[in-house]
Structure 1
Amino acid sequence: MRVGGIERHPRQDGSGCRPAVATAVISRRPTLEHRWRANSLWLVPMACIAAGAVAAAVLLVVDGAVGYDLLPTSVLGTPTAVQTVLSTAASAMLTLTTIVLTVMTLGVQLAMQQFSPRIVRALLADRRSQLAHGLFAATFLFCMVTVAKVDDQADPGHQVPTVTVAAAYLLLLASLVALVRYVHVAGQSLRVAGLIDLVGDNLRAEIDRLFAVEHPVLQDSATVVSGDAGVVVVVDSAALVDAARRGDDCFEMLVRMGDFVPRDAPLLRSRKGTAPDRRLVRRAVLLDNERSHIGDASYGLRKLVDIAERGIASSPYDDPVTAVQAIDRLHDALRQLCVRRLPDGLHHDADGVLRLVTREVAWHGYVAIAFDELVELSKSSPLVARRLLAALDDLVAVAPAERRAPLERQRARLLDRVDDEAIRLVPDVQGLGAGTDVTVDR
């Protein structure tokens, strides 16, 4: 039973109720933890400020005990120079703290509007940002306390608390490093991938904390699984071929460049059933939180398609000219690609023995990435439909015979999709402005 908000249980002999002290103590732990996390935005910086004040007081006592002249002025500077440096540093740190907090507020507002209002707590609870804010504020306070103890009118040997001033210089250096790191982290965290990773990492940490593993995933000794979650951005084929050669084996990649791999998901397996070197494979297959252009040509096509789609479907702010510009670059990329040899995914060693099999995008896959979605959306924009027709006509004309079929299918889909008398479907590299229906025929 519950009395006055405290859980009570009957005694073993049934003689009444006793307060469940242990239960009450345990029930407070989640409450305290929640309050700590909810209020850590200001608790962590305040703890840093308090630590800075305590450190300044302790070091000033140390200076008084060992003497103010423990370090020479050739290292720290004259009393007047020290005063100038610390005064300027304190002013700069106060300004920096204000700017950083302002930028963080604007970034949170942008993320809230762009992605989700529920992302705010995750951004504010980022411990790295809180420590950076706390370090800047603590450095400001430390410099203010220290500069007050520098007296260029005192007797020589009692003018500069050298240990405290040296600590202030170190804090300033740490603040500069933290500022560069903070700018990097802030820029990364405001990307789509950074925000998704922030929430995803927090979610996975809570899953690890709250739920015990009941049914472990069975792992085959011939299969290497990922140690963490991420997107495949690098596959060091040379290292994998060399490892397979040394083990007289043949490896098969189970993921391709740009794939997202959950934690403990398969990366690679041995076709001969032997156990590959897991550490070597995990070093050769690099995971990151976002796809990269390096070694992943299809990602460039994907981004151009995204830009074009936003230009077509971003009502009420339709921007078909931007979509046409993106299709220009898709056209150029496919025109270059259609006459080139595409990798077959078979990697041999120096003796010609097959050692590694990777998954690669085929020609019809590149065509699908570039045109499938845009053809589907083309009916809503005459400019886009005309530009797509011009691109497909040109690609069909220049592509080798064995690569024309996917392009011809896309062209047929476009003609069938844009079966509308209101749209003059004429090939036009400008969308509207270069077609035969709008130019002078000489």
Structure 2
Amino acid sequence: MSTRRSVAAHRWRTNSLWAVPLLCIAAGVVAVVLALAIDGALGYDLVPGDGLGSPTAVQTILSTAASSMLTLTTIVLTVLTLGVQLAMQQFSPRIVRALLSDRRSQLAQGLFAATFLYCMVAVARVDDQAEPGGRVPSVTVALGYLLLLGSLVVLVAYVHHAGQSLRVAGLIDVVGDNLQAEIDRSFPERDRPRRDPGVVTAAQAGVVVVLDVDGLVEHARKAEDGLEMLVAVGDFVPRDAPLLVSSTGTPVDAAAVRRMILLDNERSHVGDAAYGFRKLVDIAERSIASSPFDDPATAVQAVDRIHDAARQLCFRDLPSGRHRDQDGTVRLVTRELDWHGWVAVAFEEIVGLGASSPLVARRLLAALDDLLAAAPVARRSALEAQRERLLAKAGDAGITVLPDVQGLGSGADVTVPDGAAGRAAAGA
């Protein structure tokens, strides 16, 4: 790309926040001028008036629409401003340009502004005093109605897009997509190493959110093959990274297999129970470490749900990762968490951080004691290890810990009739 073209492209990307909406407004002006010219040349009744309404009704509709479009444009710009402020505070002030360069947001703003201008011009050409029965520029009004319908559809899509864009994954994707586009534009690709036909790679980057286990098993059965997943549900997979391999090394229909492995920009609760633990742990950790205002009560509530989920998991059979067809032949091997992995996901981080908070440490001890009492013998060692870590870290922080389901409020040291015994134990 020449220097002049590079400079022009940079200026276009930098100034496109106002350039795209202005182009949309200009297109709206051209559209209304052309529509009025068609009405003037071919007559004002080219479109049947029954579907448009009376001149008075058309004036009311277009006037209301113009007013609404102006208000909507203002709201959209306000949402954009708030989104930029949120992103600056929570993530990075350097993310602003990427957000402002969002084409879909700019097109939505431009459509709303163009529709406002179109309706303002169109309503002025409706004459309810003309004889006989008034005059309605039918083509112009019909096109205005279509713009209003399009604006409603775009509004719903924009609300969805704005909500998705303000998520953590959405903001990261904005920067990541821009980075990937720049890499593709600036650096020529060399010949890649020859791929093993028995390995299926990812066509795009993303997080593995759903596996069609039944479909993969059936695919392997028909091919008289065995498949092994190289990634687990919840794993991020870069583009062209291996997803799955044939156990026999025979070529695999990559396109068919990719359709059975869904990638998205963030993890989902569907098929990924560990993600629920991850969210609860995140809430608890942020509540404990939210300087300068710690919020241990919120952390205790998060531990409540971690406790409940872990207790239910105690009695469940965990998947082996080996999936068989109807004949009992192993056709698919997937990566699954074992019991120690589930306990680590639920407690490893929060025990390390929560031991510094008396309320959270007491609630964690109550949870671990209950899980130890309820869990089968074979599943107690992982829980005992977390309990020992909690007591050791709390001791290092100079905190004496007794189990308390409320964090502070139901422990043996603060309740009756066992209060005296509990306080004595605490003092000892």
- Calculate the TM-score normalised by the size of structure 2: 0.95
Aligned residue in 1 for 2:105: 129
Partner of 1:63: 39
Compute the displacement of 1:421 (Å): 8.2
Residues 356 and 393, structure 2, Cα contact 8 Å, conserved in 1: no
- Could you tell me which of 212, 216, 226 is aligned with 1:240? 216
Aligned partners of 1:161 and 1:216: how far apart in 2? Answer: 61
Identity of aligned residues (%): 69
Q: Deviations over 1:76-107 (max 9, x none)?
A: 11111111111110111011101111121111
Q: Does the alignment pair 1:331 with 2:307?
A: yes
- Which residue of 2 is the match for residue 300 of structure 1? 276
Distance 1:356 1:417 in 2: 42
- Which residue of the other structure, out of 187, 197, 200, is the alignment partner of 2:173? 197
Instruction: Give unmatched runs, 5+ long, in structure 1.
Output: 1-24
For the structure 1 residues 157 and 213, does the alpha-carbon distance in structure 2 shift closer, same or farther, using more than 3 Å as the test?
farther
User: What corresponds to 2:86 in structure 1?
Assistant: 110
- For 2:355 and 2:210, the matched residues in 1 are separated by 38
Give the match's secondary structure for 1:286: strand
Alpha-carbon offset, residue 199 of structure 1: 0.5
Secondary structure of 2:122's aligned partner: helix
Contact 1:68–1:158 (8 Å) recurs in 2: no
Structure 2 CA distance, aligned partners of 1:392 and 1:218?
51
Of residues 375, 378, 402 in structure 2, which corresponds to 1:399? 375
d(CA) in 2 for partners of 1:281, 1:309: 38
1:382 corresponds, among 340, 358, 366, to 358
Measured in 1, the distance between the counterparts of 2:183 and 2:201 equals 20
Amino acid at match of 2:83: G
- Cα offset, 1:378, TM superposition: 2.8
- Structure 1: distance between partners of 2:59 and 2:33: 18
Question: For residue 3 of structure 1, what is the aligned residue in structure 2?
Answer: none
Q: Return the alpha-carbon distance in structure 2 between the equivalents of residues 209 and 26 of structure 1.
A: 13
CA RMSD of aligned residues (A): 1.4
Runs of 4+ in 1 over 6 A off after TM superposition: none
Q: Which aligned pairs between 1:74-85 and structure 2 lie closer than 5 A?
A: 74-85=50-61
Task: Within 5 Å, give how 1:25-40 maps onto structure 2.
Answer: 26-40=2-16
* Letter matched to residue 61 of structure 1: A
Match of 2:143 in 1: 167
Q: What is the CA distance between 1:134 and its match in structure 2? A: 0.2
1:155 is displaced (CA, Å) by 3.5
Match of 2:231, SS? coil
Match 1:271 to one of 222, 230, 247: 247
Equivalent runs, 1:181-220 vs 2, <5 Å: 181-220=157-196
Amino acid at match of 1:428: D
Q: Deviations over 1:216-267 (max 9, x none)?
A: 1432101111111111111010111111111111111111111101111111
Match of 2:421 in 1: none
Question: Distance between the aligned counterparts of 1:131 and 1:420, measured in 2?
Answer: 58
Give SS of 2:13's match: helix
**8 Å CA contact retained: 2:55, 2:134:** no
| Corresponding residue number in structure 1 for 2:332 | 356
Letter of the structure 2 residue corresponding to residue 186 of structure 1:
A
Q: Secondary structure at the match of 1:418?
A: helix
Task: Tell me the CA shift for residue 215 of structure 1.
Answer: 4.5
Match of 2:74 among 98, 101, 108: 98
Question: Does 170-179 or 211-220 show the bigger shift?
Answer: 211-220
5+ long unaligned stretches in structure 2: 419-428
- 3-state DSSP class of the match of 1:204? helix
Q: How big is the shift at 1:415? A: 1.7
Question: Is residue 260 of structure 1 aligned with residue 251 of structure 2?
Answer: no
Matching residue's letter, 1:317: F
For 1:344, the equivalent position in structure 2 comes to 320
Cα distance in 1, alignment partners of residues 264 and 343 from structure 2:
26
Structure 2 counterpart SS, 1:248:
coil
After superposition, the Cα gap between the structure-2 partners of 1:318 and 1:421, relative to the gap in structure 1 and judged at 3 Å, is closer
Equivalent residue letter for 1:73: G
With over 3 angstroms needed to count, the CA separation of the structure-2 counterparts of 1:421 and 1:65, relative to structure 1, is closer
CA separation of 1:314 and 1:390: change in aligned 2, threshold 3 A: same
Measured in 2, the distance between the counterparts of 1:88 and 1:41 equals 27
Give secondary structure in 1 for the equivalent of 2:209: strand
| Bigger mean CA deviation after superposition, 375-384 or 245-254 | 375-384
Output the TM-score relative to the length of structure 1: 0.92
Counterpart residue number, 1:222: 198
